[in-house]
Amino acid sequence: MTFAFALCADDFALSPAVTAGILEALAAGRLSATCAMTTQPGWPEAARAFRDLAPDADLGLHLNLTLGVPLGGMPRFAPSRFPAMNAIVPAAWRGALPLDEILDELRRQLDAFEQAFGAPPDFVDGHQHVQVLPGISDVLLCELSARGFAGKCWLRDSADRPQRIFSRGKHWGKALTVAALARGFRGKARAAGFALNDGFSGFSDFDAGADYAADFATFLTAPGPRQLVMCHPGHVDEDLARLDPVTASREAELAFLLSPRFEEVAGAAGARLMRLSARLGG
């Protein structure tokens, strides 16, 4: 049996070195999507590089509410820097997030995307999966609908079915936790007219010493009909080391994607890359 899957590199524009690594993978035809952090100073240059490369891949907005600083004032949510995810989750479930500030920041990030890239995003997801959280997901769906994006861009469903998760045999704790956080997101998004992936994998321990090829093989196990796999390739620079704890494992992921082992693992699984927007008609 053969199947098609989308492979999305997270964190485009996070740092110059991460951007360079993702562009290498795009140029090699080893990715079908990447998602951009428009809060980062390197985003305009990254947008130009993507446009000049013109890869056959989707470019999305990676909604960021947990890394660095916002594009505008958020005195209650982020008086100096964005809060950590472990502070956002309980506030989201209590209904205690300042959604007006989050809406304003979402608008700024969407505007920054369109201003630099010259077009709306092909899809929207979230750094650390913030897009699925209660309150944030409602604000997101409302704003995207107001912009006329329903039926034109797809959304990342970060959840998968438990049977698929357990079939992969690894990283099921993270996958089940995110699936629980995303409960209800898929139904709301579909009711609002948005297409989504069906099947999601790619959870990792970010261990640079692990066999990423073996992990990647599990990502292709028990695929859904529109399987989306996330990855985090890139090179390491001082900006990345200052901003994010995930560093050396990005080099390992990129090395795998650019190597013959990628084709060997995908071929053994009967998997081929697809552009999800083409599959969904978005």
The token pair at 92 is 């989201």
Query: Which pLDDT belongs to residue 282?
Result: 41
Work out the mean pLDDT of the chain and round it to a whole number: 96
Amino acid at 150: A
Asked if pLDDT for residue 203 goes beyond 80, the answer is yes
Q: Which residues contact 263 (CB under 8 A, 6 or more apart)?
A: none
3-280: CATH topology: TIM Barrel (3.20.20)
Q: Enter the DSSP assignment of 259.
A: S
The Cα–Cα gap between 221 and 231 comes to 15
Could you read off the pLDDT of 23-71 as tens digits, one per residue?
Answer: 999 999 999 999 999 999 999 999 999 999 999 999 999 999 999 999 9
Tokens 């964005």 appear where? 82
What is the structure's pLDDT at 136? 98
- The predicted pLDDT at position 183 comes to 93
How far apart CA 242 and CA 191 sit, in angstroms, is 40
What is the predicted pLDDT for the residue at 281? 55
Sorted by sequence, the CB contacts under 8 Å of residue 264 that are 6+ apart come out as none
> Measured between alpha carbons, how far is 164 from 31 in angstroms, rounded to an integer?
23
User: Strand pairing partners for 126?
Assistant: 63
Dump pLDDT digits (tens) for 165-181: 999 999 999 999 999 99
- Quick one: pLDDT at residue 1? 76
Give dist(CA 231, CA 263) in Å, integer. Answer: 16
pLDDT range class, residue 206, cuts 50, 70, 90: very high
Confidence of residue 186 (pLDDT cuts 50, 70, 90): very high
The identity of residue 251, as a single letter, is: E
pLDDT per residue as tens digits for the range 77-113: 999 999 999 999 999 999 999 999 999 999 999 999 9
CA 43 from chain centre, in angstroms, equals 16
Which pTM was predicted?
A: 0.96
> What are the residue boundaries of the structural domains of the chain, listed by start?
3-280
